Structure 1
């Protein structure tokens, strides 16, 4: 039980609900997810089992793809339909050409203000807890990367976008800021995460279908989480040294590189880092 599950979260469930379902099957092993989806959202949720929970941050770094639906001419405190939606009076109705012309300003590395209803910590409390108590925080903008924005369909008031972005990007905020640039407002009405790196929604498994009998057959190699890292195919002697926390000699890696180490069978064995001495130090050993 050292691997990853590509799960298709259904609307209404929290990411924690999905983790708890897996945990009931594999207990006492550790279980964690890589990238929260709000209850409104559906799609890819990568769940890590056993020692693979140490790889969560690597999955979180992977590019993400979404299909989001937005309703223009509306606003809410959460920037989606989870909170009460207010219909704007005399809101403009932008043309498709105007919408598409506004997209480049929201692509690349941009400064994005997270929604007040988010899981960001503010003074030891979640922002959404503060917002629900009537004191929504003013969260400062932070840098995020949006690789592409594409209009899939537009029939006012509904706008459907395909979005490719980096970690930490709020799709709700993209809809909010796009609408603001067009002189109006928007709420997100639906969201599907269609991919995280190599994990595609077409290949994802429904959490409700998992059982103790079939779960092992859905488990994916933990190495998928480290596909972006430099690779080292270790010898049996290397494995013995790394297993005991000792450094090994290897050339060809850059300073401070994090390296995925594979054992002679081709399985992910460890993560190592190159130190100033030029040697490789094990920082995570999975076997």
Structure 2
């Protein structure tokens, strides 16, 4: 049966993000989209949007993320993960050297994405060009490491928790950390535990997708997005909004800095409006997609 939904999924290792999408689409019989891929070797949280909620993808894509990574020093693969071929070996640094490197790589930094990534270069995916032996020219991107907490060190394996901005590649972080230590490194294990306000503890396991039970209420999940408000509108305003037009009487009541406003009429959701773009992102209660 079709449904519009926001679904938090705990993706397992060896499963692609598209595997999750395909399984959910089969069950809901609707258009689906995810809010940021998670590498096949990694596991943890992904957010899947179904039906009319797929128009909310940009709102979720910009959220910060939290990871727990196991980084192996003294080895680096071409893909910067355990699925690649070893390109480089080096000495194992001591913990004090690693701590100094972690501190240096915290805050606002410029990060070079991995060659094996989904970034578009001249109309092609970077990983497709790398696999075919083509030269790939990537440019560093500004990202932020809000917090880096070392959880354990059992040489050559460092376990670390990272709170990062959108666009951050943990594989690139491991590569750069290794080089800062005068060695090399790659991500051996990766676990995503948070996306914005959403936690892995709220997610359903991939194996439980078929049942599609115990799902969190989608409206309550959306209401936790940063800069979100709920606003009651009258019948006329609701009628206009249902037909794609948000009246000035609504816009002037929206507080400055609001990113998303769920418009309600007699307590029932009508639509989600992005005042900064003056755009209705999705109609609520519309069974399409």
The TM-score normalised by the length of structure 1 is: 0.89
The whole-number CA distance in structure 2 between the counterparts of 1:167 and 1:252 is: 27
- Map of 1:1-287 to 2, 5 A cutoff? 1-27=3-29, 29-86=30-87, 88=89, 91-211=90-210, 214-215=211-212, 217-225=214-222, 227-237=225-235, 238-246=237-245, 247-249=247-249, 250-251=252-253, 253-254=255-256, 258-263=259-264, 264-265=266-267, 267=269, 269-273=271-275, 282=280, 284-287=282-285
The whole-number CA distance in structure 2 between the counterparts of 1:225 and 1:235 is: 19
Pair 16,268 (structure 1): closer, same or farther in 2 beyond 3 Å: farther
Contact 1:261 1:271 in 2 (8 A): yes
Contact 2:25 2:31 in 1 (8 A): yes
Q: Equivalent residue of 1:109, what SS?
A: strand
Q: Equivalent residue of 1:173, what SS?
A: helix
The TM-score normalised by the length of structure 2 is: 0.88
Pair 121,98 (structure 1): closer, same or farther in 2 beyond 3 Å: same
Q: Displacement of 1:85 after TM fit? A: 1.8
The whole-number CA distance in structure 2 between the counterparts of 1:131 and 1:281 is: 38
Number of paired residues? 277
Q: For each residue in 1:193-237, what CA deviation from the matched residue of structure 2 results, as whole angstroms up to 9, or x when unmatched? A: 0111222112221122123xx425415314523521242412233
The whole-number CA distance in structure 1 between the counterparts of 2:215 and 2:72 is: 37
Q: Displacement of 1:272 after TM fit? A: 3.5
The whole-number CA distance in structure 1 between the counterparts of 2:80 and 2:131 is: 14
Q: Displacement of 1:266 after TM fit? A: 5.8
Q: Displacement of 1:120 after TM fit? A: 0.3
Q: Equivalent residue of 2:204, what SS?
A: coil
The whole-number CA distance in structure 2 between the counterparts of 1:231 and 1:184 is: 48
The whole-number CA distance in structure 1 between the counterparts of 2:152 and 2:33 is: 35
Contact 1:232 1:262 in 2 (8 A): yes
Contact 2:242 2:270 in 1 (8 A): no
Q: Which runs of 4+ in 1 moved over 4 A?
A: none
The whole-number CA distance in structure 1 between the counterparts of 2:64 and 2:208 is: 27
Pair 252,21 (structure 1): closer, same or farther in 2 beyond 3 Å: closer
Structure 1: gaps spanning 5 or more residues: none
The whole-number CA distance in structure 2 between the counterparts of 1:248 and 1:240 is: 14
Pair 75,233 (structure 1): closer, same or farther in 2 beyond 3 Å: same
Contact 2:271 2:280 in 1 (8 A): no
Structure 2: gaps spanning 5 or more residues: none
The whole-number CA distance in structure 1 between the counterparts of 2:281 and 2:25 is: 26
Q: Displacement of 1:281 after TM fit? A: 5.9
Contact 2:52 2:282 in 1 (8 A): no
Greater Cα shift, 262-271 or 71-80:
262-271
